[in-house]
Every structure is written in structure tokens, then in C-alpha cells.
Amino acid sequence: MSRTISLPVHAALELALGVALLAAPFALGLEPAGLVAAVSLGVLMVGLALAGTDSLPLSAHQAFDLALVAALGGGGIGLALAGDPAAGLLLALAGGLQLTLLALTRWRRV
């Protein structure tokens, strides 16, 4: 797998995914637990994207991205088991997209 996404593109895609995660629970009419989880994780994702490429060491940004993937996946499983499969699917999908973004990014400053 080639790492083809530059850091600025990574930040832009992460911002778009975070904003989508903020808006989706309202559009889908999720239960309160799913709404709170999605909005909270969306805010974290947007904040990480807006932190920029120069404000954090690259290893820290990678670690935060990986922690976000774990939180999205764990939250998705938890919500699905608690009876909110739509919220679970939303978080799991966002986690998968974040993991793909993490794997395809060239972690070098140019």
C-alpha cells in the first residue's frame, strides 16, 4: 500500500470527516447516546484537524489518530450492543475511514 496523502490533504480530509460526524447524528435522528458520542468524537476530530501539521509532533498526531480510531470502533460496538445500530454503524464507518486515512498518509513534513 502506497502512502499517497500529504499532511495538508490529511488535515483537510480529517476536517471534512469530523464535520460529517458532527452533522450526521442530527440528519439520521439518532438516539441521545449516539448523538452525544458522535458529536463528541466529531469535535475531537475537527480539533485535531485544525491543530495543523506544525503544532504537534508527527508521532503525537499519529497516536491521537490511532486513539480516535479505537474510540470510534469501541463506541460503535458499544452503541450497537446497547440497541442503537444506526449510531454504531456511523461510528464504525467513521473509524474505518479514519484508519484508512491514517494508513494512506505520508508522515513527513515537506
Q: Domain map of the chain by residue range?
A: 7-104
Cα–Cα dist 93/12, whole Å: 18
Q: Is the CB of residue 42 less than 8 Å from the CB of residue 19?
A: yes
How confident is the model at residue 1, as a pLDDT? 65
Tens of each residue's pLDDT in the chain, 110 residues: 678 999 999 999 999 999 999 999 999 999 999 999 999 999 999 999 998 778 889 999 999 999 999 999 999 999 999 999 999 999 999 999 999 999 999 988 87
Angle of CA points 33, 91, 68, to nearest 5°: 105
Q: What is the pTM of this model?
A: 0.92
